[in-house]
Amino acid sequence: IDQANYFLNFPCKVGTTPASSSQTPRPQPGPIPPHTQVRNQVYSWLLRLRPPSQGYLSSRSPQEMLRASGLTQKWVQREISNFEYLMQLNTIAGRTYNDLSQYPVV
């Protein structure tokens, strides 16, 4: 429910041969480059974390999710705005912002 976003920028190994060359050789199978191994290790580690959207929260009912989030208390104590409260409620209820038939109730 914290809706945090993270950008992970992995280095990209750039070849020395220009892409426009008609004589560009096809890549040969070989060992996985180190930067790809690092990327794959980080990705595997993130998957093992089981983010709330992929694990225990999604198996809860919306009522349990709302109670566990403490969202209503934050709203009552004016820690979040009415708009943020309604947006979070709509998210917990499974509404999407991309489907106009499920447009968030504000």
For residue 84, tell me if it sits in a domain: yes
pLDDT tens digits, 44-63? 887 777 655 554 445 678 88
**Residue 77: pLDDT above 90?**
yes
For residue 104, pLDDT beyond 60: no
Please tell me the distance from the alpha carbon of residue 23 to that of residue 87, in angstroms, as a whole number.
54
Does a structural domain hold residue 37? no
Residue 94 lies in a domain: yes
Domain assignment of residue 65, given as a range: 60-102
- pLDDT tens digit string along 5-35? 777 776 666 554 445 555 556 666 667 777 7
**Residue 23 located in a structural domain:** no
Positive or negative torsion for Cα 90, 63, 73, 71: negative
Are residues 94 and 62 in contact, defined by beta-carbon separation less than 8 angstroms?
A: yes
Residue 85 belongs to a domain:
yes
pTM score of the predicted model: 0.41
Query: How does the average pLDDT of the chain come out, rounded?
Result: 72
pLDDT confidence of residue 16: 42
Query: CA–CA separation, 1 vs 75, rounded Å?
Result: 14
Token match 């950008």: residue? 7
Q: Is residue 53 part of a domain?
A: no
**Domain count for the chain:** 1
Q: Report the alpha-carbon distance of residue 1 to residue 67 in Å, rounded.
A: 12
Looking at residue 66, what is its pLDDT? 87
Structure tokens that stand for 66 in this block: 């709302």
